[in-house]
Amino acid sequence: MKKFLSLFISLVLITTLLAGCGPKQGTSQTEEDTPKSNTTETTEAKEKTPEKEQTTQTPTTETTTAEQKIIFALHDVPDGIDPNVTNNSFATPFLSNCFEGLVSINEKNELAPALAEKWTISEDGKTYTFTLRDNLKWSDGSPLTSADFMYTMERILKPETTCQNVTMLTDYVVNALACYEGKVPFDQVGFKAPDEKTFVIELMDPASFYIDILSLFIYCPVQKATVEANGDKWTLSADTYVVNGPFKITKMNMNEAIVLTKNEHYWDAANVTLEEITFRMIKDQATALLAFDSKEIDGMRSVPMADFARLKAESNDLHIVPSYATSYYLLNNAQPPYDNVLVRKALNLAVDRNSLIENVLQGNAIPAYSLFAPGYIFNGKDFTEGRSNYGLSANANVEEAKKALAEAGYPNGEGFPTMKLSYYTSPQVKLIAEALAQMFKENLNINVEITNSEWAVYYAEVQAGKYEVAAMGVGADYLHPMSFAPVFISTEPTNDTGYGSKFYDEKIIAAKKELDPEKMLNLIREAEDILMEDYPFLPLYHRSSSLLMRDYVQGWTLSPTGNFCFKYAKVVK
Amino acid sequence: MSKEIIVSPADWEPLDIENDLREKIWSTQRTFAEDVWFRFSHKKSAFAGLLIILLLMLFAFVGPYLTPYSFDTQTLDFSNIPPLMEVTNVDDNLFYITANLKVIHVGNNGKLLAALPKLKEDTAQKIIYYDFNGRELPLSYQKKPAAILNHEGKRLRRDNKVWNTSYWLGTDGLGRDLLTRLMYGTKISLIVALIATFVNMTIGMIYGGISAFAGGSVDTVMMRIVDIISTVPLTLYVILIMVIMTDGFLSIIIALSSVYWVTMARVVRGQIYSLKENEFVYAAKTIGSSQSTILFRHLLPNAMGPILVTATMMIPSAIFMEAFLGFIGIGIAAPMASLGTMCNDSIQALRSNPYQLFFPSLMICIIMFAFNYVGDGLRDALDPKLKK
């Protein structure tokens, strides 16, 4: 009897434990439960009244949320929210809404004037002259002038500021690199502010895509007063975080919630409808999905892949935005047998990209046959239009793959050493790695050993060249094909592939200097053709990013480079 | 009631008095092992636990030979198919619509036949046309959930339910058979647990035995080392070991066996300490037995009861540790399955495909229950104080 009693008690305990689980839902449940438990003592007639009260309550709560306020769940804390310093994608929700540079990307993914009203580019393509808007102000009401830009650029070029994207200045602007290295003072750098409303940038070499680079957050001005008064800590509290964008931060608790309210001093404040955005940090995506389903939040980033198919089939709130990015596997070109182009070709042919996308990614991507992602439109034509598939297809071409492997000296995979396929710890990447391994095994008869490690360890090993086949991806910083090019330039530090082709390097350098945009794109295409003759890597797919947002929140934008802006968003009910 | 009782005079003769008969104990006499087994098998929960363990071993070690799949056989077309499918009947052909809007032809016996090839997609009308033996099969996803349309363009309901006989427990995200993976996972768990326990038992017995038998300062030093090891949280320790070594089967065993022996060492030390002052030890010493003979031939066999109980209780915690390591992502390397990694893979899909998490976690529960009950039963059976 005692046994049964203890069993019963443990069961009860387990059920209470389970009831205690589940994020925050508990609070809404208890609210519902309390009136009911009160009524158990009263009569049946009375029991119905509290429920009626509840139903009348719900519309009133709805009208309160119909105010211009939304709650949005983010899942990772950025390493910082200083626009000059960070390059972290988790910072973009804050930076896109709090800061604005000279130019920005609009909802059609085109370049649009922002703080700069207009600009002129000199005929040699080296001098950019910007005219700022009238009455630009910081969120504390003080005026924003070209002096702020000068201060910001000087700040970026100090090594102690540790700007992650500093090459976006030093690669292009006159004397910027020398200043960064401490060889020349800042007044010799190609930034000038002739008057309060004019800001001039001088480039070393003409670069027609430089205007796209200017939309990066690193070029956003910061306020001298607050940075000098608070040092590095100016981004840490809401009071000292002085901004110039459509929203300002009023409550900051990075690990829980950040509240953004409308910035009245923003130049376009008349067109900003949304009053308040709350970014809630919910680390677990499944938990965030629960909160979304229970209407606790209005939207969330990064839908769990496992639920993607279900949501796509059932929900109207799922939005899919193509990313300007490419996911691929690195093949270590410096290491046999992957130094053999035929082996790399065989691996490329053996992968069934369609099957990966349809079944593993649940259709959330398009197959990739090269490095450069589609999404850059020039003269109404996408850059990738008319591009060759480089002998690759969406489905595996097993015969050709086997032929290439045989030519390389491994007929039917015989004698091929066990492949070390490495990936970084992430559920999605794991599935892809396992599926790939199986494809190599089945289609090429190669033995595959899969290993994984945490991103920090993994990336260090990849950079050191200690890998054979490794998962990697590249997301463009700015919306221009040139953003992808450095991955395979032999002199670039970001080139971890062991691949180097002087023909490719030459074409890219020529493209950088080309002033005519169309000719430049042609040069990039030629470089790409040279690159893909060697199959230096294993392109898999161009991913898209997904987010959940209720249909009553409209007008938000998510750019292919990941800028997530609520400037023109509003709640319509 | 008159019944004559006739007693023959011979009955009154005295019996032959035989000594061994007089001395005989007439109840059944059992050896210690038989006694333990008697008590163990009469405890229902313990016996049930033992039966379950035997069944699990059959499942884990014989099962893989009986399935047509291997743990890494992928059929990407059949990913995330549940055990019980809601299918649409179109002219006596059954079709299952997957969550990512693919149509799979299902035989009447529940076998998955093929994923239909896509012909074209009408994005304006939200209809995908699939090819079924030359016939067009339109799938509309305008209204949720998606449904197949008949000739008149009416939505057909998914009103038939069919058990999946190709994959009894369904498939995971890569179209691998869950049942097969469960067999391999159970096998890994059992092997890891048994080997780790065996190694722990050996180290613990030797270490604890020497510590207690030598006594004095040797004992103090050895026990302080045990104390130091046990102050470090075991989980942390195991994780550190796993990070330094690459993930794999061997490193899990090494990690588990290098840490878990401290409990065993303490138990053995306690037992030996109380036994070593007994007369039989002095007797052995008197006739000149060596130290190791006394320890391994006389003392340890006498402490075997508590050792066995500790060992059986250690098995479930080792299994749980292995599953836990797999769950946090530092367990066995993919694509091999273990119960923990299976749980880890499926927790992402909990809301869409709950069956993928249910089966491996159920298996962990069953294993834990079985071993705990057996351990419980053994403790009761081995402890003479509980003898009825």
Mean pLDDT of B296-311: 86
Q: What is the pLDDT, as a whole number, of residue B117?
A: 85
Quote the ipTM score. 0.70
Q: At what angle do helices B249-259 and B304-327 cross, to 10 degrees?
A: 130
Averaged pLDDT for residues B171-185: 90
Of all residues in chain B, the one with the smallest CA distance to A421 is: B334
Question: Would you place residue A6 in the very low, low, confident or very high pLDDT band (cuts 50, 70, 90)?
Answer: low
pLDDT tens-place string over residues B214-237: 888 999 999 999 998 888 877 777
pLDDT category at B49 given cuts 50, 70, 90 is very high
Average confidence (pLDDT) over A419-442:
87
A499 or B235: whose pLDDT is higher? A499
Non-local (6+) Cβ contacts of A406 within 8 A are: A412
Kindly list the domain boundaries of chain B, sorted by start residue: 84-163, 178-386
Q: Which residue has the higher pLDDT, B3 or A92?
A: A92
Q: Say if residue A229 is in the same domain as residue A347.
A: no
Q: Do A413 and A430 share a domain, yes or no?
A: yes
Partner residue facing B334 (CB), from A352, A356, A450 = A450
pLDDT-derived band of residue A20, with 50, 70 and 90 as boundaries?
Answer: very low
Is the same domain home to A407 and A291? no
A304–B100 C-beta distance less than 8 A? no
Decide if B352 and A315 are in contact by the 8 Å CB cutoff.
Answer: no
Are residues A340 and A468 both part of a single domain? Answer: yes
Do residues A125 and A188 both lie within one domain?
yes
**B375/B306 Cα distance (integer angstroms):** 11
> Does A441 share its domain with A462?
yes
Residue A521 located in a structural domain = yes
Are A427 and A527 members of one domain? yes
A18 falls within a domain: no
Q: State how far the alpha carbon of A60 is from the alpha carbons of A54, A550, B222, in Å.
A: 10, 19, 70
For residue A103, the surrounding DSSP H or E stretch is strand A103-105
Q: Chain A partners of B354 at a C-beta cutoff of 8 Å?
A: none
Beta strands B112-115 and B118-122 are unpaired
Most confident of A43-52, A271-280, A285-294: A271-280
Distance from CA of A356 to the nearest CA of B (A): 8
Contact A435 B74 (CB under 8 A): yes
Residue A287 lies in a domain: yes
**CB–CB contact B353 A315 (8 Å):** no
Cα A23 to Cα A15: distance, rounded to the nearest angstrom: 16
Cα A118 off chain centre by: 28
Residue B112 pLDDT level (bands cut at 50, 70, 90)? confident
User: Which range is least confidently modeled, A228-242, A486-500, A514-528?
Assistant: A486-500
Residues of A in contact with B171 (CB under 8 A): none
User: Could you say which of A313, A355, A425 has the minimum Cβ distance to residue B144?
Assistant: A313
Q: What is the rounded average pLDDT for all residues in chain A?
A: 82
Q: What's the pTM value of the predicted model, to 2 decimals?
A: 0.74
Statement to judge: residues A521 and A419 lie in one domain: yes
Which of chain B's residues have a Cβ under 8 Å away from the Cβ of A302?
none
Q: How far is B356 from chain A (nearest CA, A)?
A: 11
Q: What pLDDT score was predicted for residue A15?
A: 53
CATH number at residue A435: 3.10.105.10
CATH topology of domain B178-386: MetI-like fold (1.10.3720)
Residues A206 and A223 grouped into a single domain = yes
Q: Average pLDDT, stretch B157-176? A: 87
Residue among B198, B209, B179 at smallest CA distance from B310: B198
Residue A326 sits in the same domain as residue A457: yes
Residues A503, A380 within the same domain: yes
CB pairs under 8 A between A and B: 98
* d(CA A359, nearest CA chain B) in Å: 6
Confidence of residue A24 (pLDDT cuts 50, 70, 90): very low
Q: Provide the domain count of chain A.
A: 2
Nearest-10 crossing angle of helices B178-214, B44-57: 120
A1 lies in a domain?
A: no
Per-residue pLDDT of A478-487, as tens digits, reads 888 888 888 8
Rounded Cα gap, residues B58 and A458, in angstroms: 40
pLDDT of residue B370: 92
Please indicate whether, in this complex, the C-beta atoms of A313 and B173 are within 8 angstroms of each other. no
Which of B348, B355, B356, B372 to probe by mutation at the A interface, max A CB count within 10 Å? B348
Mean pLDDT in residue range A45-56: 37
What are the pLDDT digits (tens) for A183-221? Answer: 999 988 999 999 888 999 999 888 888 888 898 889 999
**Greatest mean pLDDT among A7-21, B239-253, B316-330:** B316-330
Asked if residue A435 and residue A531 are part of one domain, the reply reads yes
Q: Please report the pLDDT score of residue B255 as a whole number.
A: 81
Q: Report the CATH number that the domain containing residue A235 is assigned in CATH.
A: 3.40.190.10
A64: pLDDT confidence band, cut at 50, 70 and 90? very low
Residues of chain A positioned with their CB less than 8 A from the CB of B144:
313-316
Radius of gyration of chain A (CA): 27
Q: Which domain holds residue A537?
A: 320-546
Question: Within a domain: residue A42?
Answer: no
DSSP β-bridge partners for residue B104? B96, B115
The candidate with the shortest Cα–Cα distance to A384, out of A366, A410, A406, is A366
pLDDT tier, B247 (very low <50, low <70, confident <90, very high otherwise): low
